[in-house]
């Protein structure tokens, strides 16, 4: 959400420290008067209100007001890429795009071409990470992704923002820089939702590869292994995925979780 800083617009002659000859010159210059008058009209047209002396007015820009045209374009891509057939729910996609526009308007997103969606309404034996190139209208990657071991066994149903919870955190993230750590090539994730996922960096929640995220594991036990809360992905695609989504793209981790739906300021403030 973009917010224009509050400022008083009360006009006082003593602010300008003008003298009488200067006023007379202005009054004699019709072009100057016309310019000033036009400027005032433009300010009013922009929604800026002149405050009374000693008071301030704040102009708040609506976070995101997605038009019908944008919605149609959004769902056209959903249908064109046949994302429903691949398992991505329409609700997950819709909320992801709404939050994406919110973060874009807030200046949070650096690379606006890519969006990644993790759909935790799907069980872990399904490919529930979707990386979409919005500019080209392409599904770049669709692969497996782990959830926290205390979020559930096959299906993630419990979520947390607390350290040592070993649970996944829902919501919107902006991807950060890559680094080489305990799990090798990894990607930092910065949670954008206070009280929901803003503790991600402190918890060490990052995207990395894991040997337990593998179809062979599914064949043996019916679901992939679980992490300590990180969205771990298969070792055969992690470099490509991380290389594509790093440095300022939007990541949305979705679940039809009632607490998240009612407490996410991004979701509740966005108009669809």
Q: DSSP for 130-193?
A: EEEETTTTEEEEEE----BTTT-SSS---B--STT---B--EEEEEEEEEEETTEEEEEEEE-S
pLDDT at 30: 44
CB atoms within 10 A of CB 107: 8
Q: What is d(CA 233, CA 141) in angstroms, rounded to the nearest whole number?
A: 11
- In the chain, the domains with their CATH numbers are 1-61 (no CATH), 68-269 (2.40.440.10)
pLDDT at 52: 38
What predicted TM-score, i.e. pTM, was given to this entire model?
0.76
Across the beta sheet with 138-143, the strand order is 138-143, 129-133, 114-119, 250-254, 171-181, 184-191, 206-207
Q: Kindly list the averaged pLDDT for each block of 10 residues, start to end, along the chain of length 272.
A: 40 41 45 42 38 35 49 81 97 96 96 98 98 97 98 98 98 98 97 98 98 96 98 98 98 98 91 52
pLDDT at 226: 98
What's the CA dihedral at 31, 37, 41, 42 to 10 degrees? 50
pLDDT at 41: 41
pLDDT at 51: 39
pLDDT at 71: 59
Q: Which stretches within the chain are classed as H helix?
A: 13-16, 20-28, 30-45, 68-80, 83-86, 90-105, 200-203, 215-221, 238-245, 258-263, 265-269
């Amino acid at each position: 959400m973009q917010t224009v800083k509050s400022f008083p617009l009360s006009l006082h002659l003593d602010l300008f420290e003008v003298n009488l000859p200067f006023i007379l010159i202005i009054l004699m210059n019709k072009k100057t008067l016309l310019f000033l008058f036009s400027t005032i009209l433009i300010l009013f047209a922009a929604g800026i209100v002149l405050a009374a002396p000693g008071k301030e007015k704040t102009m708040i820009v609506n976070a995101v007001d997605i038009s019908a045209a944008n919605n149609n374009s959004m769902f056209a891509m959903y249908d064109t890429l046949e994302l429903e057939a691949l398992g991505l729910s329409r609700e997950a996609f819709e909320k992801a795009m709404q939050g994406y526009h919110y973060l874009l308007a807030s200046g949070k997103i650096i690379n606006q071409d890519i969006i990644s969606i993790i759909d935790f309404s799907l069980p872990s034996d399904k490919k529930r990470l979707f990386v979409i190139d919005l500019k080209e209208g392409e599904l770049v990657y669709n692969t497996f992704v782990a959830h926290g071991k205390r979020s559930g066994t096959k299906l993630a149903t419990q979520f947390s923002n607390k350290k040592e919870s070993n649970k996944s955190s829902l919501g919107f993230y902006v991807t950060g820089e890559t680094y080489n750590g305990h799990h090798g090539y990894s990607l930092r994730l910065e949670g954008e939702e206070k009280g929901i996922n803003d503790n991600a960096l402190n918890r060490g929640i990052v995207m990395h590869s894991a040997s337990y995220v593998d179809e062979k594991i599914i064949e043996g036990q019916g679901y992939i292994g679980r992490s300590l809360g990180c969205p771990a992905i298969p070792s055969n695609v992690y470099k490509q995925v991380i290389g594509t989504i790093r440095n300022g793209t939007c990541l949305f981790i979705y679940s039809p979780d009632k607490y998240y739906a009612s407490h996410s300021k991004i979701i509740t403030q966005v108009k669809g």
